[in-house]
Amino acid sequence: MTSKDKQILNKVIKEIDVLTEIIKGMSFDEFTKREEIKRATAMTLINIGELIKIASKELKDSAPHIPWNEIMATRNIAAHGYHALKLGLIWTTVKEDVPQLKLDIQNLIK
């Protein structure tokens, strides 16, 4: 792993930590009613996708179990189709997929 890839992955972990803090203690119902939380969540997902986009092909090839393309696709939807975001899918992504991504990235860094 290059030092640049390691820096990128550490930044992704920081973004995940921000996202975790944004929704901490929140229910899905509260999430759907708070526009600033939805927007902050979308922006953080965009940030994660942007970071993944600039990671090297070698890094991505070394960890095929991580859904790199789906992460970048989520970024594209959040950035270009915010009005069409399905909040249930975003909630599931944030509550289930993002914590797993953090674990996977932490294992890659080790």
State the SS3 of the chain.
CCHHHHHHHHHHHHHHHHHHHHHCCCCHHHHHHCHHHHHHHHHHHHHHHHHHHHCCHHHHHHCCCCCHHHHHHHHHHHHHCHHHCCHHHHHHHHHHHHHHHHHHHHHHHC
For the cut 80, the answer to whether the pLDDT of residue 92 exceeds it is: yes
For the cut 70, the answer to whether the pLDDT of residue 1 exceeds it is: yes
Q: Please state whether the predicted TM-score (pTM) of the whole model is above 0.85.
A: yes
Give the pLDDT of residue 82: 59
Average pLDDT over residues 45-52: 94
Give me the residue spans of the domains in the chain.
3-109
For the cut 70, the answer to whether the pLDDT of residue 25 exceeds it is: yes
Mean pLDDT over the full length of the chain: 92
Q: Which pLDDT band holds residue 110 (cuts at 50, 70, 90)?
A: confident
Give the pLDDT of residue 86: 81
Task: For tokens 């996202």, name the residue.
Answer: 19
